[in-house]
A and B are shown apart, each in its own frame.
Chain A
Amino acid sequence: MLRIPCPWCGLRDETEFSYGGQAHVAYPAEPSTVDDDAWATYLFYRDNPKGWFAERWMHRAGCQRWFNVVRHTVTYEIAASYPPGASRPEPA
């Protein structure tokens, strides 16, 4: 069981959360000018690292807010949890 720190509610069980995949993937600023390649990248391509990963979570059974977490995809250790809009902190 993961224990995930919600920036607003504190440490809670993983079953309270929904997963949102890679963080910091912005919707294209000028959608009408984007070519097929860039659309494919935006829609279908995500990082898949064996290591540190910045990802989105939503506290579904709590405050229902989205936030970001930096988590290690092998040890599952969580190095940081931060509100949307903030930039990604580097794990120590």
Chain B
Amino acid sequence: MSEWQVTPRLPEHPDVLWAEAEPKASYDVVIVGAGGHGLATAYYLAKNHGITNVAVVERGWLAGGNMARNTTIIRSNYLWDESAGIYEHALKLWEGLEADLDCEVAFSQRGVLNLAHSLGDVREGRRRVNANQLNGVDAQWLTPDEVQKVAPILNISTDVRYPVLGGTFQPRAGIAKHDWVAWGYARAAHALGVDLIQGCEVTGVLRDGDRVVGVDTVRGPIRAGRVALAAAGHSSVVTSSLGLRLPLQSFPLQALVSELLEQVLDTVVMSNAVHVYVSQAHKGELVMGAGIDGYVGYGQRGSFPVIEHQMAAAIELFPIFARAHVLRTWGGIVDVSPDASPIVGLTPYAGLYVNCGWGTGGFKATPGIGWVFADTIANDRPHPLAEPFSLARFDSGALIDEHGAAAVAH
């Protein structure tokens, strides 16, 4: 049991953590988007590479996009070696993040359970456990009885439409407090000299031939030696001004919370087959989500049938949830790639770097991608862990198909 389960509490609300900056005429690096990825990238640019003449420009307010809307599941139990590389790198950084940033982020390694409900699920799950172990990622296969020990309120009766046939478990996985993560990175980046500029939408990318030389914003042009995109669901919108197409479709992804309840669930439970996942946040609310809405959209609100479907699934798995009430529902816009893996690296334009396509699952990668993207920008070549995730893989066909590990799962 972690400290959080023994004494559920939240840190005090902090004082001002960073100062608002006015855009300067030029920077060495401009990062578009102050979500988790943009902020972490700025921090590691400054810390690991000594590049501090950096601005993070944000359309809305800092970490008001998916960073504020995600359900904070952190795990590294993906199938392929390439994914294990980047997600496990991130998980290791999570394990030292509070010390590194000198701030609480409430990272709680309470484990993540991925349920299997069919023979196909069982085979996929066992295969993934084997693959994880070969990659040094902690993973176990649990029988239904063992599943029940991890989550006693879970219904493992065989008398349901999709009985639980077992599950994979990653003990080092867990959740964190997303806004604290963003604020921690913002504070640390700001302390190293990075400008954080809110209310500054990028409306175009400036170029000189095939080289990108800055961005146009609603507050005027900003010149930049290098431009790094971390705009998540709006990546296609940003690159469209260059005529650069990305293999992405943007979809609303929803989540919801119940009122505050006593602690009933000590781990994170996900089910691809019946389509829901649940954890209990530090304060006590049940946090639930499911898959993306069924059509391309930028409206930050969800489609009602998705909520209805996920609640039906939740109640089948956890009959006691029938008494809980939904307090809030919301949506964020996620950028989904054809192989359910991110796109990170160089582009056909010199000085322009992309980090997108994290879709429904990029929160867990925040420290890892910040580290790897910063290194890619600083050295103008893909970091080894980013190399397989290049935009060029859609031409070469070297896809990294994580639909099995990523589907509903975040």
Q: What's the Cα separation between A66 and B303 when bound, in Å?
A: 22
With the chains together, A75 CA to B297 CA distance in Å?
Answer: 9
B250 touches A76 (CB 8 A): no
Interface residues of A (CB under 8 A from B): 1-2, 13-15, 18-19, 21, 36-37, 40-41, 43-50, 53, 55, 71, 73-76
Q: B349 interface residue, CB < 8 Å from A?
A: no
Q: How far is the CA of A49 from the CA of B249 in the complex (A)?
A: 9
Query: Which of B240, B247, B296 has the most chain A CB within a 10 Å cutoff?
Result: B296
Once the chains are docked, how many angstroms separate the CA of A11 from the CA of B304?
Answer: 18
**B294 proximity list for chain A (CB < 8 A):** 14, 18-19
Closest CB of chain B to A55's CB: distance in Å? 7
- Chain B: minimal CB distance from A37 (Å): 6
Residue contact A74 to B299, C-beta cutoff 8 Å = yes
- CB-based contact A2/B303 at 8 Å: yes
Q: By the criterion of a CB under 8 Å from any partner CB, how many residues of chain B are at the interface?
A: 24
Does B298 lie within 8 Å of A50, measured CB to CB? yes
Query: What is the distance, in angstroms, from B253's C-beta to the closest C-beta of chain A?
Result: 15
Q: Tell me if B305 and A14 are in contact (CB < 8 A).
A: yes
Tell me whether A76 and B299 are in contact in the complex, defined as CB-CB below 8 angstroms, given that A1-B305, A14-B294 are known contacts. Answer: yes
Apart from the given pairs A2-B295, A45-B394, A71-B295, 6 other A-B contacts in the complex at a CB distance below 8 Å: A41-B245, A44-B338, A48-B246, A53-B296, A74-B298, A76-B299
A45 CB contact (under 8 Å) in B247, B304, B396: B247
Cβ of B126 under 8 Å from chain A: no
Q: Mark B324-362, 1 if CB is under 8 A from A, else 0.
A: 000000000000001000000000000000000000000
In-complex Cβ contact of A48 among B236, B299, B396 (8 A): B236
B interface residues, Cβ below 8 angstroms from A = 234, 236-237, 240, 245-250, 294-299, 303-305, 338, 394-397
Partner of A46, one of B249, B304, B305, B396: B249
Decide: B299 and A36 in contact? CB cutoff 8 A: no
DSSP class of A's interface residues: helix, strand, loop or mixed? mixed
The reply to whether A45 and B245 form a contact with Cβ atoms under 8 Å apart is yes
CA distance A73 to B234 in the complex (A): 12
Q: Which residues of A contact B250 (CB under 8 A)?
A: 48, 50, 73
The answer to whether A55 and B303 have CB atoms under 8 Å apart is no
Residues in chain A near residue B295, CB distance under 8 A: 2, 14, 19, 55, 71
Q: Which of A45, A50, A71 contacts B234 (CB 8 A)?
A: A50
Q: Which residue of B lies closest to A51 (CB)?
A: B298
Is there contact, CB below 8 Å, between B305 and A48?
no
Q: How far is the CB of A59 from chain B (nearest CB, A)?
A: 14
Smallest beta-carbon distance A51→chain B, Å:
9
Q: Which residues of B contact A46 (CB under 8 A)?
A: 247, 249
B247, B298, B394: which contacts A73 (Cβ < 8 A)? B298
Return A49 CB to nearest CB of chain B, in Å.
8
Cβ–Cβ contact A44 & B237, under 8 A: no
B308 to chain A, nearest CB (A): 9
Closest to A17 in B: B294
Residue in A2, A37, A55 whose beta carbon sits within 8 Å of that of B395 in the complex? A37
Distance to closest chain B CB from A79 (angstroms): 15
Closest 6 CB pairs of A and B: A48-B236, A44-B247, A40-B395, A44-B394, A44-B338, A50-B298
Residues of chain B contacted by A41 (CB below 8 angstroms): 245
Tell me which residues across on chain B come within 8 A of A19, comparing CB atoms.
Answer: 294-295
Q: Which residues of A contact B234 (CB under 8 A)?
A: 50
- Kindly state the separation between the CA atoms of A50 and B300 in the bound complex, as whole angstroms: 12
